[in-house]
Chain A
Amino acid sequence: MAYPANYRYTNQHEWVDVKGDVATIGITDYAQHELGDVVFVELPKPGAKITVGKSFGTVESVKAVSDIYAPVSGEVVEANADLQNAPEKINSDPHDAAWLVRVRLGNPAELKSLMDAAAYEAFVADKGKEASA
C-alpha cells in the first residue's frame, strides 16, 4: 500500500494529515500489518488533550494491546466512531476511512520533526531488512 505523499509520519508508525489547524491522525499500513487483525480500538473523547509522544489510545488484536502515541499535541475535536463497530477498517483502509482522531493543533512546530512519505518508506524498508537479518 502506498504512503500518501501529503501525510507526515512518526517512527511509531502513525500518520498525520494536516488541514488548516486540524490534524487527522491514523496508523500506517505497516503498523496494521504488524498488529494483525484489529479487534478493538480505544480512543479519547472530544475535548481530551493529547501530548506529543504520549499514548492517547490503544489498538487491540486478539493477543496484543498496542499503545498509539500522539504525533502532535492538541485537543481532540472528533474521534472516529465508526471504528467501534468496524475495527477491521484499520486493516482494510488504514490511511483513509480508518482515521482515529482529529486534533486541533496545539503546537504546529511539532510537525517539523515528522518524516515525509519518502523518509518513512525508507524507514520501513530498513525495518524489513532488520527483521530478515
Chain B
Amino acid sequence: MRYLPKSPAERQEMLSAIGAESIDDLFSSIPERYRLRQALNLPGPFSEAEIIQYFTERAGENSRGYTSFRGAGVYNHLRSVVTDAIIQRGEFLTSYTPYQAEISQGTLQAIFEFQTLMCQLTGQEVANASMWDGSTATTEAVLMAERITGRTRVLVARSLHPEYRDVLRTYAKNSGLQVEEIPYNASGNLDQKALQSAIRDDVAAVVTQSPNFFGAVEPVSELAEIVHAAGALLVVAITEGVSLGALRPPAEADIVAMEGQSFGLPPSYGGPFVGVIASREKFVRQMPGRLAGQTTDLEGRRGFVLTLATREQHIRREKATSNICTNQALCALAATVHLTLLGKEGLREMAQQNLSKARFALAELTKVPGVRRTFDAPFFNEFTLAFPRSVKIVNSHLLREKLVGPVALGTSYPELTKHALVCVTETTTRADIEKLASALQRALEQPL
C-alpha cells in the first residue's frame, strides 16, 4: 500500500523487537470474539488513477455545463488560483491546531491577520479564529447573547436564512431559549413595528440578517436603536460577505455572525466554509472559539499565541462558552489569502460589479411579461421575483435550456409560492442574464 512506509521485513523486525510473534499479539486486549475474522466489505484498494476516475465520473453526473442563478447563502465568486496554491502548501495543509506556538507562527500570524480583516469588514472590535459556518456562528452568537444578558427570549427575523433558523431551533430546544419569529414587511425588510411590540426587557437578542434571505439590505442602525432601548443585543448575520465591499459595516450590531464562503471558498455542495463571530471588545470573554493574540517572546520579538483559552472546552469543560474545538482554520486561511489578494480596491470593485449585474438582471427579467419584483428594499446581488405560475414548472423549463433557475421560496415560505430568489454575481455574464430572460419568457409562454 503506497501510503504505508514499511517493508514486510521491517514489520517483522519491529515485531521481534517488541517481543511479539505476530501482529495479532498486539490486539490481544480486544476480546477474541469481537475481533474481525474476515476482511471488511469495502470497495478498493484503488490506485491513484482509479480514485481520480471514480470522482471524475461522479463529477460528470452533476451540474457541469449549466448556468446557475442560485445563491441563498452560497455564492459563486471569482477566485484566484493563488489561494489554492497557498493553502495547499504542506506547512499549512498538514499542520495541527497551533498550540505549540514556537513552531506554528505561520498559522498563528495568519489567524491574527484573519481576525483583523474580519474586524475591518464588519466594523467590530474583535473577531475569532473561525466557527464551523454561518449557521452555527449565528446560533453561537445567540448563546453568547444569552450569557451576556442572562435573558432567554430571542427574536429572530423570519427573513433570516431558513436553514440558519433551523439550526438555531435545534440548539435552542434544550437550552431553555424561547425563539420567536418577527415577520418581514411589504418591502422585504424586518417589520420594525412588529419588533417594537414583541421586544421587552426579557429579550436577550434580536437576530436579523443583512442583506437578508430575500436580498434586502436592513437598516442596521435603526434596528440597533430599538434593540438597545430594551437592553437586548443585536445580532446581525451576514451570508454574503462580498456585500461589505459596498455596504456600511454593521458597526452598531453587538455581535456579527458571518459566513465567509464568499471569500475564496468554492460552493463545494455546501461546505467546508468558514463561520465568523465578531463583537465588541467588552464581550470577548463570552466569545466562543479560538483567538490568536499578539505577544512577545523571551527576547522581545513579536510573536503570536492562542489566548484567552480559559473560555474553551479543554479547560473549562462543562462550563465552557462552547463545545467547539476543531474549527475551519484552513478555510479561514483561504479567506485571508483571498481578501489580501482582492485588497481594498478589488473588494470594492467586485461589490460594485455585483450591484451592477444584479440591477441589470432585475431590469431584464422584469421586462418579461407577467414577472414583477416582490419587494422594493435596497438590495445587493439577490432579489425576489413573482412569477405568474409555479416556480417549479418555470424552473423545469429553464433546466431544458441548461439554466438552473432561481430558488423557489414556497418551500420555506408557504406565503411566497410563485416567488423566487435570483442571484447574480460578477461571474454571471450579460449573455447569461439575457439568456435567462428570454428562456423565462418562453417558459411562461408554454402551455400548462
A109 at the interface (CB under 8 A from B): no
With both chains docked as a complex, state the minimum distance between the C-beta of A107 and any C-beta of chain B, in angstroms.
27
Q: How many residues of A contact B (CB 8 A)?
A: 7
Cβ of B309 and Cβ of A63 under 8 Å apart?
yes
Q: Which residues of A contact B309 (CB under 8 A)?
A: 62-63
With both chains docked as a complex, state the minimum distance between the C-beta of A42 and any C-beta of chain B, in angstroms.
8
Q: How many residues of B contact A (CB 8 A)?
A: 6
Bound complex: CA of A37 vs CA of B315, how far in Å? Answer: 16
B310 at the interface (CB under 8 A from A): yes
Bound complex: CA of A62 vs CA of B312, how far in Å? Answer: 12
Cβ of A40 and Cβ of B315 under 8 Å apart?
no
Bound complex: CA of A105 vs CA of B310, how far in Å? Answer: 32
B316 at the interface (CB under 8 A from A): yes
With both chains docked as a complex, state the minimum distance between the C-beta of A49 and any C-beta of chain B, in angstroms.
16
Bound complex: CA of A62 vs CA of B315, how far in Å? Answer: 10
Cβ of A64 and Cβ of B285 under 8 Å apart?
no
Bound complex: CA of A65 vs CA of B315, how far in Å? Answer: 8
Q: Which residues of B contact A88 (CB under 8 A)?
A: none
A116 at the interface (CB under 8 A from B): no
Cβ of A63 and Cβ of B315 under 8 Å apart?
yes
Q: Which residues of A contact B285 (CB under 8 A)?
A: 40
Bound complex: CA of A40 vs CA of B316, how far in Å? Answer: 14
The closest CB in chain A to the CB of B285 belongs to A40
Q: Which residues of B contact A62 (CB under 8 A)?
A: 309-310
1/0 per position for A38-80, CB-CB distance to B under 8 A? 0010000000000000000000111111000000000000000
Most chain B CB within 10 A, of A40, A60, A61, A63, is at: A60
The closest CB in chain B to the CB of A60 belongs to B310
User: Which residues of B in the span 254-308 have a Cβ within 8 Å of any Cβ on A?
Assistant: 285
The closest CB in chain B to the CB of A58 belongs to B310
With both chains docked as a complex, state the minimum distance between the C-beta of B306 and any C-beta of chain A, in angstroms.
10
Bound complex: CA of A62 vs CA of B285, how far in Å? Answer: 13
With both chains docked as a complex, state the minimum distance between the C-beta of B56 and any C-beta of chain A, in angstroms.
48
Q: Which residues of B contact A65 (CB under 8 A)?
A: 310, 315-316, 319
Most chain B CB within 10 A, of A40, A61, A62, is at: A62
With both chains docked as a complex, state the minimum distance between the C-beta of B91 and any C-beta of chain A, in angstroms.
26
Q: Which residues of A contact B315 (CB under 8 A)?
A: 63-65
User: Which residues of B in the span 313-328 have a Cβ within 8 Å of any Cβ on A?
Assistant: 315-316, 319
The closest CB in chain A to the CB of B320 belongs to A65
With both chains docked as a complex, state the minimum distance between the C-beta of B295 and any C-beta of chain A, in angstroms.
11
Q: Which residues of B contact A60 (CB under 8 A)?
A: 310
1/0 per position for A65-107, CB-CB distance to B under 8 A? 1000000000000000000000000000000000000000000
Bound complex: CA of A79 vs CA of B319, how far in Å? Answer: 23
The closest CB in chain B to the CB of A65 belongs to B310
Q: Which residues of A contact B316 (CB under 8 A)?
A: 65
The closest CB in chain A to the CB of B305 belongs to A62
Q: Which 9 A-B pairs have the closest CB atoms?
A: A60-B310, A65-B310, A65-B316, A63-B315, A65-B315, A64-B315, A63-B309, A64-B310, A62-B309
Knowing that A62-B310, A63-B310 are A-B contacts, what are 13 other residue pairs whose CB atoms are under 8 Å apart, sorted by A's residue number?
A40-B285, A40-B310, A60-B310, A61-B310, A62-B309, A63-B309, A63-B315, A64-B310, A64-B315, A65-B310, A65-B315, A65-B316, A65-B319
CB within 8 Å of A: which residues of B? 285, 309-310, 315-316, 319
Q: Could you write out 15 A-B pairs with CB less than 8 Å apart? A: A40-B285, A40-B310, A60-B310, A61-B310, A62-B309, A62-B310, A63-B309, A63-B310, A63-B315, A64-B310, A64-B315, A65-B310, A65-B315, A65-B316, A65-B319
